[in-house]
């Protein structure tokens, strides 16, 4: 299933959402993959302008320009490529973030520590952005799912929310 990252912006890039039930039906995995390329033409043009500007400014010493190139690429490698949520009935949730560098970060939350799963709205500048969060017992901060890619409410967050609640809280009839 594919969706536009921000339906109002008309962006040429879209994120890809996938949902799969793992064998046995006791686990679901929801994944959002950024379809944005590592480097866009805009990034390359800005980088070239920076190198040329520094080359002229530093009186033809290129080591500064190369340091800028390496710093730019290092920043780009820290961008998030994919985020996933693995829900295992009676076990818990694993939230995983994969970066362009290939590095991954995972966090596991035991089912007994999960207080609730909610969809909330946050205000950022002049936008209201929906997000899904996991409320964990004895923690002040909630864990935001798909925190870096912030997919849209429909279909991504609603599908993920309903599937998560169905596995973690099977006795609840209120979705």
Convert the pLDDT of each residue in 144-155 to its tens digit: 999 999 999 999
Residue 67 pLDDT class (50, 70, 90 cuts): confident
Note whether 28 and 84 are within 8 A (CB).
no
The pLDDT value recorded for residue 8 is 34
For residues 31-58, average pLDDT: 80
CA distance 72 to 67: 9
The pLDDT value recorded for residue 13 is 46
The pLDDT value recorded for residue 7 is 37
Instruction: Pick the more confident residue, 89 or 2.
Output: 89
Instruction: Pick the more confident residue, 7 or 83.
Output: 83
pLDDT of 1 > 50? The answer is: no
For residues 69-91, average pLDDT: 90
DSSP-derived secondary structure letter, 155: I
For residues 160-170, average pLDDT: 94
For residues 87-91, average pLDDT: 95
pTM of the model: 0.79
CA distance 128 to 15: 19
Instruction: Pick the more confident residue, 66 or 33.
Output: 33
Instruction: Pick the more confident residue, 112 or 48.
Output: 112
For residues 1-6, average pLDDT: 38
Give the residue extent of every domain in the chain: 2-34+79-168, 41-77
Instruction: Pick the more confident residue, 69 or 10.
Output: 69
Pairing of strands 127-136, 114-124: antiparallel
């Amino acid at each position: 299933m594919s969706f536009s990252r921000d339906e109002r912006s008309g962006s040429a890039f879209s994120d890809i959402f996938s949902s799969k039930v793992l064998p046995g039906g006791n686990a679901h995995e929801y994944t959002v993959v950024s379809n944005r390329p590592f480097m866009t033409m805009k990034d390359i043009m800005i980088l070239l302008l920076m190198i040329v500007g520094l080359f002229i400014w530093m009186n033809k010493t290129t080591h500064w320009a190369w340091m800028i190139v390496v710093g730019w690429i290092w920043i780009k490698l820290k961008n998030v490529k994919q985020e996933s949520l693995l829900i295992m009935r009676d076990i818990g949730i694993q939230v995983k973030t994969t970066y362009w560098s290939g590095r991954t970060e995972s966090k596991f939350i035991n089912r007994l520590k999960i207080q609730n799963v909610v969809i909330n709205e946050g205000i950022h500048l002049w936008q209201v952005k929906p997000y899904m969060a996991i409320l964990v017992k004895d923690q002040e901060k909630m864990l935001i799912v798909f925190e870096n890619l912030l997919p849209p409410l429909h279909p991504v967050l609603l599908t993920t929310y309903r599937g998560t609640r169905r596995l973690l809280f099977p006795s609840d009839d209120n979705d």
